[in-house]
Amino acid sequence: MFYEAVTDGVRVRVEPEFVDEQSSPEEGYFFWSYTVEISNDSKVAVELRSRLWQITDADGRREEVRGAGVVGQTPKIEPGETFTYTSGCPLRTSSGIMVGSYQMVDEEGRLFDVAVPAFSLDSPFDVPTVN
């Protein structure tokens, strides 16, 4: 399953995946990878300057992560191009949620934030509930 958002012609698509072989449920350690695809559907080049993540686990613990670029890069994405990367997230619970934003600058020097859609981190250890 993937999650998608579009801001000012920049499309962000996220696909999370639980990584069983890097998780240790008996020790309260659950790990996900997530692949992000950033497509520039606008008419001007954009550069990703920084990121902001808000990560919340099933117990409501919230962590905020800020930093320059993504995976050590500040990619410049030309119109019609796509930049893809994969990263990871550990939690102490078997589920959680991530949401965030990227700060971009376009070739005209305009700074703007691009929404990263909220995406669910679900593991096979979740107990389904009906609300």
Give the chain's mean pLDDT: 94
Q: What is the pLDDT of residues 105-120, one digit of tens each?
A: 999 999 999 999 999 9
User: Would you place residue 125 in the very low, low, confident or very high pLDDT band (cuts 50, 70, 90)?
Assistant: confident
* pTM of the entire predicted model: 0.92
Amino acid of residue 93: T
Q: What is the pLDDT of residues 39-77, one digit of tens each?
A: 999 999 999 999 999 999 999 999 999 999 999 999 999
Q: What is the pLDDT of residue 128?
A: 57
Q: How far apart are CA 82 and CA 76, in angstroms?
A: 10
Q: What is the pLDDT of residue 127?
A: 60
Hey, what domains does the chain have and what are their CATH numbers? 3-122 (2.60.40.1470)
Q: Measuring CA to CA, how many Å separate 17 from each of 54, 94, 108? A: 18, 13, 36
Give mean pLDDT, residues 95-109: 96
- Say yes or no to pLDDT of 130 above 80: no
